[in-house]
Amino acid sequence: MRTELFNSYTVNSEKLWKAENTLYAFEELLDQATQQFGAEYVEIRAQQLSKTTITMKEGRAETAKQGIEQGVALRVLLDGAWGFASAGSFDIQVLSRIMQDACKMAKATSSSLKTPIKLAHVKTYEDKVKIKTAKNPAKIPIGEKIDTLCRINKRVLGYDKRLKSCTVEYLDVTGTSYFFSSEGARIEQDKIAVWSKITASAVQNGVFTFSREEVGSTDGFEVFDGDKPEVLGEKIAKRAVEQLEAKAPKGGLYPVVLGPNVVGVLMHEAFGHLSEADLTLSSGLLLGAIGKKIASNLVTCYDDGTINGAFGSFKYDDEGVPAQKTPLIKEGVVAGLMHNRETAMKFGVAPTGNARAEDFHVEPIIRMRNTFMEPRDCSLEELLEEVKQGYYFKTFIGGQANLDGTFQVGIQEGYEIVKGKLGKPVRYASISGNTLETLFKVEAVGRDFELSPGRCGKGQTAFVCDGGPHIRVKEMLVGGSSK
């Protein structure tokens, strides 16, 4: 039965791609748009993905799900305006019809356009990207995946009687994506991602707590090797129980020490989004800021799509541009922005490989990849010892950025710092501030380093990593309900 499952994928993929006429049809579609409609640029993104999703609640697999998602996205630039169409079909007649739609819509849009869109020139690639993993999730029987998730659940609920619920969500994606452009790009890329989110809640005398952890990788099922499921389960359970004793923090301005997990999301929310060039253009906060001091000298930050196995890594982005390591801040000075071909043209720079589309239903937009602050030289003790009264925020639950530079990061695990030492746990604090003020207040940077996987929402969901070392910030607005 288990081999059957695997075979059915193989059969399916052959059915589609042995049909060489599909690839031939793509060439015809490109010609149709450029020759019949006069499109300046055309791209075809085709996807053929298999997904396995499992949702487990207290060891009961509520959902064991297998899905096939395949389809085509067509994007044309015609008279300076974008037209986009997508369909879950490889039928040439359907695709030809929606290509017409995309061209006609672009044409209609262009009539009102004041500033026509142009694309930065790029080298085009013909490439086949094969990913080799020790444990391709497509080859692992679903029963084994369920058993692995059961181990996480077992460790969480077995940790302490006060733990009442545990939800384990699991997703793996395997398949292939294709990128064809009228400029000659012909890229075929394997796609592999494994993701899991575990949440647990504990209850004691009417106090409810909650703890969450995510796993994400573009390697294979190796992320669950050995005793990793148990280690993960214990981490989540321990946090939920500790939080039972936690008190709400006092709101106000305090010195804070932030863990790598919080530093990552801070760089992502407080700075990363503002340096996505489309948002830079909208807010204007970082317009003309290249070369300007924006942060303390201790802050160096990159967005890197090339880290092996990291959740935000890939070889080519969804405009066929190779991923790269893009410097955003070097020693406090703005070093670059994240671009797609459209914004790169506007800024007169090269695209950085940040154009990503969640799937074929949507167009590529500028997204982060793996965003992090570089470590320096302090130990955690050194960071803590300078703080007389403040907070240590270790892990976050969510964050959000605003175009005026206001950021917010909700904290799931935090502690008081009293006279340089860690004190009692605090529950559900959050930190906020304005990027342009806060990054100058980074006064010490640790020597450790950790990347955490996450999912970023910007209309579409993107798999990313955020990270960095521990840092100390002189002063930050802490939201807490205690008086």
Partner 1 sequence: MEAPNKEAMLSLAEKAVDKALRSGASEAEAYVYVGEGTNIGIERGQVTKSSKVIDNGIGVRVILDKRIGFAYTNIMEEASAAEVVSKALCAAKANKPDPEWHELPGTGAYSQVEKTYDPRIPELKPEALMKDALLMLEAAINVDKRVLPVEGGIGAAYAATAVYNSNGVSCFDKGTVAECSVATIAKDGNNVTPVCFEFSGERLYAVNPAWVGKEAAKVALSALQNKKVETKNGKLIISQFALQELLYYTFFNALKADSVQREQSPLKGKKGEIVASEKVTFLDHGLLEGGLRSAVFDAEGVPHQKTTIIEKGILRDFLYDNYTARKENRESTGNASRSGYMSTPAIEVTNFCVQPGNCTPDQMISEVDDGLLVYYLQGAHSSNPVNGDFSVVATPAWQIRHGEIVHSTRGVMLSGNVFELLKNIIGIANNCRQVGQLVAPWVEVENVRVIGHV
Q: Please give the residues from 426 up to 465 whose contact with partner 1 meets the rule CB under 8 A.
A: 427-430, 432-434
Cα–Cα distance for residue pair 315/192, rounded to 1 Å: 12
- Smallest gap from residue 33 Cβ to partner 1 (A): 14
Does 13 participate in binding partner 1 (rule CB under 8 A)?
no
- Smallest gap from residue 325 Cβ to partner 1 (A): 28
Interface map 361-390 toward partner 1 (x if CB under 8 A): xxx---------------------------
Phi, psi dihedrals of residue 482, rounded to the nearest 5°: -75, 145
Q: Which is nearer to partner 1, 305 or 390 (CB)?
A: 390
| Distance linking the first and last C-alpha atoms of the chain | 61
Pick one of 23, 57, 127, 386: the residue that binds partner 1 (CB under 8 A): 57
* Beta strands 163-181; 430-434: pairing state: unpaired
Chain positions 160 to 189 lying near partner 1, rule: CB under 8 A, are: 164-165
CB 99 within 8 A of CB 29: yes
Based on the number of CB atoms within 10 Å of its own CB, is 69 exposed (0-12), middle (13-18) or buried (19 or more)? middle
Cα–Cα distance for residue pair 15/470, rounded to 1 Å: 51
SS3 444: strand
Does 340 participate in binding partner 1 (rule CB under 8 A)?
no
Chain positions 83 to 102 lying near partner 1, rule: CB under 8 A, are: 83-89, 94, 98, 101-102
Amino acid at the residue 144: E
| 146 phi-psi bin (left φ>0, alpha ψ -120 to 50, beta other) | alpha
- Smallest gap from residue 308 Cβ to partner 1 (A): 30
Chain positions 99 to 128 lying near partner 1, rule: CB under 8 A, are: 101-102, 104-106, 108-109, 112-115, 117
Chain positions 139 to 158 lying near partner 1, rule: CB under 8 A, are: 141-143, 146
- Smallest gap from residue 15 Cβ to partner 1 (A): 9
Chain positions 275 to 304 lying near partner 1, rule: CB under 8 A, are: 278, 281-285
Q: Which is nearer to partner 1, 233 or 399 (CB)?
A: 399
Q: Which is nearer to partner 1, 213 or 363 (CB)?
A: 363
Chain positions 232 to 261 lying near partner 1, rule: CB under 8 A, are: 248, 251-253
Cα separations (Å) of 450 from 213, 329, 446, 459, 469?
Answer: 14, 19, 11, 27, 6
